[in-house]
Amino acid sequence: MSQRPSLRALAWRRPVRWLLAPIFQAGRSVALRRRLLLRVAALTRLPVVRCTKIAADTLRGVPIEWVSSTRQTPRRVLLYFHGGAYIVGAARIYRAVNARLADWAQARVAAVDYRLAPEHPFPAASQDALDAYRGLLERGIDPATIVLGGDSAGGGLALACALQIRDAGLPAPAAVVLFSPWTDLGLRGESIRSHAASELVLDADTLREAAAAYLGAQPADTPLASPMYADLHGLPPLLIQVADTEILYDDALRFAERAQAAGGTVELRVWHGLWHVWQAFAGKLPEADAALREAAAFIVRHARAA
């Protein structure tokens, strides 16, 4: 577990609640949530690392943006899935995160704009995730140089991608990096209730609404929607970062326990006194940069340099 939160983190707590909690208040339309998230992204002005190159592309028809550093030759690839409860979010909102991971892990980041619910319910997002990975392989990229990553719903999607890769018999990626992953759309973790008072960002009722929009007619324990209920054998090494105050705390802990029980290698890092996906405040919050440096070091340890 990390040390006590910094003074800067403590100072950010009220702005975080003020900025992000309205996006995840129950009963709001998806259109309003999307507008609010883009407004927050504009207000926070999270700094992108200097000498960052951004380029639009597609992988098997799935839109992505490449994020890389012009200061060095990228030697790895991170396939990154943004969060947003499967109903909001966009790759461009995570440029501050992806620019640092690209720089510190000497990687090109392929940030995926997968289809969102309710317009595109399950399994659209998981199909896009697998197509994006297949697209990397079709370009001749060595899977041993590829790492999957994602935050919140994007963390669940990164796991769904890894499961589909395994079940399709495709070459496996080197590792998976997860920030506060949403692994149980049934919201059965005890922290959904016990951490409600300390949660700064998410709302359980909103997550139920988002899960219903994403799942459609599928049950909440569908493995590719809720990786908590999947057969977890044969997954690549996992790094999971989570805050001890968030309602998805148990999604990380329970998943880590199940993955380890299935024979997997899991590094679980619990950070004290922060909030859901604090890594998104890269360049503003020292704990965000520290977490991303830890993730970059994990990527370098596990992914072969091309």
With bands split at pLDDT 50, 70 and 90, how would you rate the model's confidence at 1? low
Q: What mean pLDDT is reported for the chain?
A: 96
- Mean pLDDT, residues 189-218: 97
Residue 47 has what pLDDT?
84
What range defines the domain where residue 231 resides?
A: 7-302
Residue at 2 is within a domain: no
Question: Is 95 part of any domain?
Answer: yes
| Identity of the residue numbered 163 | L
Portion of the chain with pLDDT greater than 70, in percent:
99
DSSP 84: S
* d(C-alpha 147, C-alpha 101), whole Å: 11
Amino acid in position 170? L
In whole angstroms, what is the distance from residue 43 CA to residue 149 CA? 26
Residue in the block written with tokens 């370009």? 139
At 72 the pLDDT is: 87
- By the 10 Å C-beta count (0-12 exposed, 13-18 middle, 19+ buried), 156 is classed as buried
3-class SS letters over 208-272: HHHHHHHHCCCCCCCCCCCHHHCCCCCCCCEEEEEECCCCCHHHHHHHHHHHHHCCCCEEEEEEC
Cβ atoms of 271 and 290 closer than 8 Å: no
Question: Rounded to an integer, what distance in angstroms lies between the CA atom of residue 120 and that of residue 30?
Answer: 13
Residue 117 placed within a domain: yes
244-280, pLDDT tens digit by residue? 999 999 999 999 999 999 999 999 999 999 999 999 9
Does residue 1 lie in a domain region?
A: no
Residue pLDDT, tens place only, 93-133: 999 999 999 999 999 999 999 999 999 999 999 999 999 99
Question: Does residue 98 lie in a domain region?
Answer: yes
The fraction of the chain above a pLDDT of 90, given in percent, is: 93
The residue-averaged pLDDT of 2-27 equals 90
The per-residue pLDDT for 2 is: 57
Q: Write out the catalytic residue numbers.
A: 152, 246, 276
**Structurally, how many domains does the chain consist of?**
1
pLDDT of residue 3: 73
Which of 226, 222, 179 shows the shortest CA–CA distance to 81?
179
The pTM assigned to this predicted structure is 0.97
Q: Given this model, what pLDDT does residue 76 score?
A: 98
* CB 129, CB 112: distance < 8 Å: yes
In the sheet that holds 62-69, the strands lie side by side as: 52-59, 62-69, 107-112, 76-81, 146-151, 175-179, 238-243, 266-271
Count the helices and strands in the chain (H runs, E runs). 9, 8
User: If you average pLDDT over residues 144-159, what whole number do you get?
Assistant: 98
Cα–Cα distance for residue pair 213/231, rounded to 1 Å: 24
Q: What is the CATH number of the domain that holds 137?
A: 3.40.50.1820
Q: Is residue 160 part of a domain?
A: yes
Burial class (CB in 10 A: 0-12, 13-18, 19+), 119: exposed
Give dist(CA 293, CA 7) in Å, integer.
20
Placement of tokens 């692994």 in the chain? 183
The answer to whether the beta carbons of residues 134 and 86 sit under 8 Å apart is: no
